Structure 1
Amino acid sequence: MLVAVMGMAALAGGCLQPLYAENTASVTGGSVRTAMKEVDIPEIKGLIGHYLRNELVFELDGGGEPDLTKRLRLDAKVAEALEVVTVDYANGRADSAILVATATWTLTDVRSGKVVSSGTNVVRAPYERSVQRFATVRAARDAQIRAAKNLATLIRGQLAADLVAG
């Protein structure tokens, strides 16, 4: 019995293929790695949108290949909300908060207009609030940057999975 299980595991081991390998075929033609470099990302509204766009450009393109034609377009919208976690009842101020960032996006083939992939991702970024105003503003900005990085990572993973042919 053990020999049969080990034999099946050995045979199945050859079926796995790395997602970002050069020979992993994409639904748009070519490899997934190349398809991700062919994604055009226009401006995304808002401060988190700005950070998200920058992170996505880096995550998908890496360093950029200027002569690569952009065949896909990623349109995204970002919404943010604030949840107050704890309140200091002595002065009525929030001690901590959670930034909830939601990105809704679609990846479209520029030539055909066909939607290749779409999704909605939500991340939470907690931060401490202080009586010092600048410290609270800086902590909130850091939470926005962390949220944008996490959203970019989630979107990249989902795009790669949706781009795999077969």
Structure 2
Amino acid sequence: MSSSEIGRPGALRGSRLMLAAALLAAATAGGCFQPLYAENTRSVTGGSIKDAFKEIEVPEMKGLIGHYLRNELVFELDGGNEPDRTKRLKFQSQISESLEVVTVDYANGRADSAILVATANWSLTDTTSGKVVSQGMNVVRAPYERSSQRFATVRAARDAQIRAAKNLATLIRGQIAADLFAG
């Protein structure tokens, strides 16, 4: 409220009215919120989203990023707790990686840093009907420093691959959850 409005008797009442209307709108919209990972959230495959996650089979994948991505997905989807559970959904993925050189030290001609770009094209298929339930393409970037010490650079590159796989797993899990939501 500006100093010129202080003397006006209706200005204070109008702002209180607007505040009350905003609070009423927020209160009524608050009842519409439903947590995605709650036990009572239904999925398109039947059951809850958590149960649908436990029904996803994640097969072995090629490459180091594929290996770490599979491990992260298995952990994020079912925690690895129920190996005997029937798997109704099958996850398939093609993973590619490339390297972007960011800075180059022109004195010795070496790259000082690089960015690992990991791309995953994936799909989730219902094994009983053959229908694709969810699919997507996710891209993550993981920067790392390159050193004149060869083994330090190799370790930094591997750490970047592990970070990229973890980030991909988180993105894929979120997208699968959103696609499985039957709301």
TM-score (norm 2): 0.88
Query: What aligned pairs does 1:1-166 form with structure 2 within 5 A after superposition?
Result: 1-166=18-183
Q: Distance in 2 between matches of 1:67 and 1:46?
A: 27
Worse-matched range after superposition: 67-76 or 131-140:
67-76
Secondary structure of the corresponding residue to residue 120 of structure 2: strand
Q: Distance in 2 between matches of 1:66 and 1:136?
A: 37
AA aligned opposite 2:85:
L
**What is the Cα deviation at residue 44 of structure 1?**
1.1
**What is the Cα deviation at residue 67 of structure 1?**
3.1
Worse-matched range after superposition: 5-14 or 150-159:
5-14
Query: Which sections of structure 2, spanning at least 5 residues, go unmatched?
Result: 1-17
Q: Distance in 1 between matches of 2:20 and 2:109?
A: 67
Higher normalized helix content (fraction of residues)? 2
AA aligned opposite 2:83:
P
Alignment length, in residue pairs?
A: 166
Query: Which sections of structure 1, spanning at least 5 residues, go unmatched?
Result: none
**What is the Cα deviation at residue 68 of structure 1?**
1.6
**What is the Cα deviation at residue 6 of structure 1?**
1.5
Determine if contact 1:106/1:117 at 8 Å carries over to the other structure: yes
**What is the Cα deviation at residue 83 of structure 1?**
0.3
AA aligned opposite 1:106:
S
Q: Distance in 1 between matches of 2:63 and 2:76?
A: 20
AA aligned opposite 1:121:
N
Which protein has the larger Cα radius of gyration, Structure 1 or Structure 2? Answer: 2
Determine if contact 1:37/1:64 at 8 Å carries over to the other structure: no
Determine if contact 1:86/1:97 at 8 Å carries over to the other structure: yes
**What is the Cα deviation at residue 37 of structure 1?**
1.0
Q: Distance in 1 between matches of 2:61 and 2:78?
A: 17
Q: Distance in 2 between matches of 1:24 and 1:146?
A: 30
Determine if contact 1:20/1:33 at 8 Å carries over to the other structure: yes
**What is the Cα deviation at residue 31 of structure 1?**
0.4
Determine if contact 1:74/1:107 at 8 Å carries over to the other structure: yes
Superposed CA RMSD: 0.9
Runs of 4+ residues over 3 Å off in structure 1: none
Secondary structure of the corresponding residue to residue 27 of structure 1: coil
**What is the Cα deviation at residue 8 of structure 1?**
2.1
